[in-house]
């Protein structure tokens, strides 16, 4: 067990750069007194009876830093380093810009759910009337923190999106990689896209002219 007080600080950063920035800060801040991390959550993708688990960033746009240093001492060391990071914006605070350490009761509650691996594992529950009873996972005993349960949320693959939008699978993957499809998730072997997502507008116009409309077969022949 730790024999010192633990503080959590939350840094507002450029969305999509959380893990990259956490890795850089870990190197630049140095020492065990400054431990950046990005909280994750386990999600489940089901297709044709098969279940695949993957991790997703729990709080997009934020990097957490665990430290044994109180706010004033923490900022004295961390601010010069973070100031040089163009993708880091500011620390969250409680009104006063110097009051940046997360409240202890909030830190303890979140720490309990995240666990040592900094990830909210998937939980299983039973619906009893208007209430829910969690029987396994990170949320056991924390039913009171559940705001809503999304029963109908689903994912589709890049190939399925390509068929629905009339474009190639390759084009969909490019759109995902460029951040043009909101909520798209990268897996080891492809992308997952929120079900119901509309085809993004084609922004490849040049010289003020709209791009020529191509059929799926024409786009496939052009690579």
SS3 state at 12: strand
Confidence of residue 186 (pLDDT cuts 50, 70, 90): confident
pLDDT of amino acid 61: 94
Confidence of residue 155 (pLDDT cuts 50, 70, 90): confident
Q: Which residues, 6+ apart, have CB-to-CB distance to 197 below 8 Å?
A: 161, 181, 182, 183
44 neighbors 150 (Cβ within 8 angstroms): no
- Which tokens hold the place of 144? 């009171």
pLDDT of amino acid 60: 93
Cα separation values, 134 from 52, 58, 97, 146, 151, Å: 21, 20, 38, 10, 15
Model confidence at 217: pLDDT above 90: no
- Which stretch, 97-101, 116-120, 128-132, 191-195, has highest mean pLDDT? 97-101
Question: Can you tell me the mean pLDDT for 189-215?
Answer: 69
- pLDDT (tens digit, 9 = 90+) per residue, 58-68? 999 999 999 99
Tell me the pLDDT of the chain averaged across its residues: 81
Confidence of residue 152 (pLDDT cuts 50, 70, 90): very low
pLDDT of amino acid 122: 73
Confidence of residue 132 (pLDDT cuts 50, 70, 90): low
Question: Can you tell me the mean pLDDT for 27-32?
Answer: 89
Of 9-13, 30-34, 43-47, 54-58, which range is least confident? 43-47
Model confidence at 2: pLDDT above 50: no
Of residues 217 and 199, which shows the higher confidence score? 199
Angle at 144 between CA 143 and CA 148, to 5 degrees: 75
Report yes or no on whether pTM surpasses 0.75. Answer: no
Q: Which residues, 6+ apart, have CB-to-CB distance to 89 below 8 Å?
A: 11, 12, 13, 14
pLDDT of amino acid 149: 56
193 neighbors 199 (Cβ within 8 angstroms): no
- Which tokens hold the place of 119? 């990830």
SS3 state at 218: helix
pLDDT of amino acid 32: 86
- Which tokens hold the place of 94? 């409680």
Give the rounded percent of residues in the chain with a pLDDT score beyond 70: 72
Helix or strand run (H / E) with residue 111: helix 104-114
């Amino acid at each position: 067990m730790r024999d010192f007080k633990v503080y959590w600080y939350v840094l507002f950063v450029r969305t999509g750069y959380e893990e990259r920035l956490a890795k850089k800060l870990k190197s630049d801040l140095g020492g065990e007194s400054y431990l950046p991390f990005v909280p994750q959550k386990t999600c489940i993708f089901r297709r044709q009876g098969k279940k695949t688990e993957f991790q997703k960033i729990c709080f997009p746009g934020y990097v957490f830093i665990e430290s044994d240093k109180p706010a004033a001492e923490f900022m004295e060391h961390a601010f010069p380093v973070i100031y040089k990071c163009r993708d880091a914006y500011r620390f969250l605070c409680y009104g006063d810009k110097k009051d940046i350490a997360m409240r202890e009761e909030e830190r303890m509650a979140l720490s309990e759910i995240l666990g040592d691996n900094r990830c909210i594992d998937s939980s299983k529950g039973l619906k009893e009337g208007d209430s829910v009873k969690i029987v396994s996972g990170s949320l056991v005993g924390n039913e009171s923190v559940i705001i809503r349960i999304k029963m109908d949320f689903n994912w589709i693959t890049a190939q399925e999106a390509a068929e629905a939008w009339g474009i190639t699978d390759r084009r969909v993957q490019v759109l995902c990689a460029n951040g043009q499809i909101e909520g798209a998730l990268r897996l080891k072997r492809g992308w997952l896209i929120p079900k119901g997502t509309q085809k993004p507008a084609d922004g490849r116009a040049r010289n003020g002219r709209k791009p020529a409309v191509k059929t799926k077969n024409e786009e496939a022949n052009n690579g």
